[in-house]
Amino acid sequence: MREIVLDTETTGFEPEDGDRIVEIGAVELVNHMPTGRTYHQYINPQRSMPQGAFDVHGLGDEFLRDKPVFAAIAQDFLDFIGSDAKLVIHNAAFDMKFLNAELGWVKKPAIPMDRALDTLAIARRRFPGSPASLDALCRRFGINNDARTLHGALLDSEILAEVYLELIGGRQPDFGLSTQASKANATGTTTAWRAGPRETPLPPRLTDDEAAAHAAFVAKLGDGALWKKLA
């Protein structure tokens, strides 16, 4: 199962008011484990950053001036997220609104909302009435976010990946077996890992006396005993 943990930074709150995406960061998970593949891109919003945005993003007009516009990176971004991976986003409605606005402006198809998995909604269901910001969830789960002095899309995605794994049951919800959960075949596609029979069967741990005692016990249960039906 492939998932993309995603975050964007923007010039403001409403694409309809002319606000644009200035940064995208994404982290790939397969079977709830980070693969090491990431996507990170700064984007020239083709407008000035509003007053105060420098403090939030650590980005400014001069820094973004030579970065590519969204139209130039749109296909690379779509190729990275693929066509069916779930998009794990904190406050998904906000990021999806901006992504689909940007895609619409460059005549690309919108990303269906049902691909988005909102960690903010998950956190509010799990901890009703408690703060559910990314920083608050880091404190709850003991995740170090000291580097988050300035918001950054890739850093926030990496932190959100840790938070997401805690929200769904722990950093290794499958007890560490995910490293063997899939393998690549000759064509590069992944196939599910399945346990095979042991080359040498384990020796029985039941003694002859224990086996005889069990047989005598089952004999007393009559012909309708479940053990007799399954024997």
Query: Catalytic residue positions?
Result: 151
Nearest alpha-carbon partner for 146 in 138, 1, 154, 220: 138
Please say whether the beta carbons of 11 and 50 come within 8 A: yes
Beta carbons within 8 Å of 169's beta carbon, 6+ residues apart: none
Q: How far apart are CA 19 and CA 12, in angstroms?
A: 5
| Nearest by Cα to 45 from 26, 63, 27 | 63
Cα–Cα distances in Å, from 26 out to 43, 93, 111, 129, 178? 14, 16, 15, 29, 21
Token digits of residue 210: 């224990």
- Dihedrals φ, ψ of 55, to 5°? -70, -35
